[in-house]
Amino acid sequence: MTKQETVYVVSDSVGETAELMVKAVACQFFGQDVVIKHFSYVDDKQDINNVITASKYSHSIIAYTLVLQDLKQYLDHQAEEEGVIAVDLMYPLMDAFTQKFHMEPNRQPGKMRTLDENYFKRVEAIEFAVKYDDGQDVRGLKQADIVLIGVSRTSKTPLSMYLANKKFKVANVPLIPEVKPPQELFSIPKNKCVGLIISPEKLNQIRKQRLKNLGFTSPSNYASLDRILEELTCAENIMKKIGCPIIDVSNKAIEETADLILALFNKRGSFA
């Protein structure tokens, strides 16, 4: 039976970067037949002493990613003293960045994991916005960070997606006179909900253009001012009953409206 070689992966975070690098190199020598032992979240010299001792007595290599300079220097020194091979997988590239871009690294452990977590939170928020768009499933209202309500064509969906890209879980519900609003709107915290209103004239223009884009040329109740006034009156009554903040989106870009929503969020610390 072939003896399995061991490599100690040392990191001040989880150590995924070092592990992937070790596996890539190991494939050139042993296939996948290498044992990787982790020393993760290393933050003091005793941790380093432990891995140096383990590596020395098992005749193993240390592969490490330590961004804190004093720990890196201590590991290098102790490894040399004990005759252990320790390979820095991060500093050579960091030094190249410093020389080329004339910048110093911030030396914060776990930055990659933070970036990964932000990415997955953003993806989760986008999936949430798609699932709970346009009142498709009112069960999402209690799970949402923000709930947008308003009549058709008040930018609820694009706002939901924009805020989702900022990692907020957003649900939106259309308000229609003939359809009773979901009871969940009245049971969630009112500061989690944001009402979107718009001037009748602006909405009339938007809806006419929408119908034109869809190929409708004959007059439609959807774009008539009487119908629009009825919808807006009904929507505002619901918003007042809920007691939620209301934003007029008549002449605002998506980004501007989103900033106002987030300002409300930050002012209260939370919509919840």
User: How many CB atoms are located within 10 Å of the residue 207 CB?
Assistant: 19
Tokens of residue 129, six digits: 């916005």
Tokens of 144: 């949402």
H or E element at residue 6: strand 5-11
Phi/psi region, residue 155 (left: phi>0; alpha: psi -120 to 50; beta: rest), is: left
11 is in an annotated binding site: no
Residue 131, marked binder: no
- CA-CA-CA-CA torsion for 151, 154, 157, 159, nearest 10 degrees? -140
**Residue the block writes with tokens 């990964």:** 116
- Decide: 9 and 18 in contact? Cβ < 8 Å: yes
Q: What is the distance between the alpha carbons of residues 112 and 114, in angstroms, rounded to a whole number?
A: 5
Structure tokens at 191: 């500061």
Q: Is 114 annotated as a binding residue?
A: no
2 labeled binding residue = no
| DSSP per position, 32-54 | T-EEEEEE-S--SHHHHHHHHHH
Burial annotation 20-46 (CB, 10 A radius, 16+ → b, else e) = ebbeebbeeeeeeebeeebbeebeeee
Is 156 annotated as a binding-site member?
Answer: yes
In angstroms, the CA 180 to CA 173 distance is: 11
**Annotated binding residue at 155?**
yes
149, two tokens: 């309500």
**CA 132, CA 149: separation in Å to the nearest integer?**
12
Which amino acids are annotated as binding site, given as ranges? Answer: 150-157
Which amino acids are annotated as binding site for ADP, given as ranges? Answer: 150-157
